[in-house]
Amino acid sequence: MYKIIFDDKTEFIGGEPDNSKWNDIPNKPIVELQYTFGGKTIYLKNYEAYNHQIKLGFLPFNNQKTIILAIIIMVLEKGNVGRIIFDFPNKRIIKDIIPFGQEYNNKPASGWKRGIIEGTPRSYFL
């Protein structure tokens, strides 16, 4: 699902949405986060910090099974959080920028991993 490249050139490969291994990431500065989903890869580089959240829930017609409603990828830059939200029930991708501390349901998100800035922040899809 994702690959992290650290400043010492080592890598960490994450898991799947139901077991992302995000909390297992070593405490080293991140140079780049590569997040692959649905056949596309998002490259995020040169941000102060990185995070992601999985939003679980139920669909109205199937309240017996927990499903992934959204994957939220976040980056921190100068006190603001850039988010890329994969909204599955509505089949859309949302990009927005919000103040730090309001990134997950208008509350702070836990799990931030520090980045390292070696140039201008960049995000792009391939």
Mean pLDDT to the nearest integer, 114-122 = 86
More confident residue, 42 or 126: 42
Question: Taking Cα atoms as reference points, which of 102, 100, 94 lies closest to residue 77?
Answer: 100
Give yes or no for a contact between 54 and 60, defined as CB atoms under 8 angstroms apart.
no
Name the percent of the chain in helix, strand, coil, to the closest 5.
0, 60, 35
Give yes or no for a contact between 123 and 82, defined as CB atoms under 8 angstroms apart.
yes
38-47, 93-102, 117-126: segment of lowest average pLDDT: 117-126
Q: Where are the domains of the chain?
A: 2-125
Token pair of 30 as six digits: 């991140």
Q: Would you say the pTM of this structure is higher than 0.85?
A: yes
Check residue 126 and give its pLDDT: 47
Average pLDDT, the chain: 88
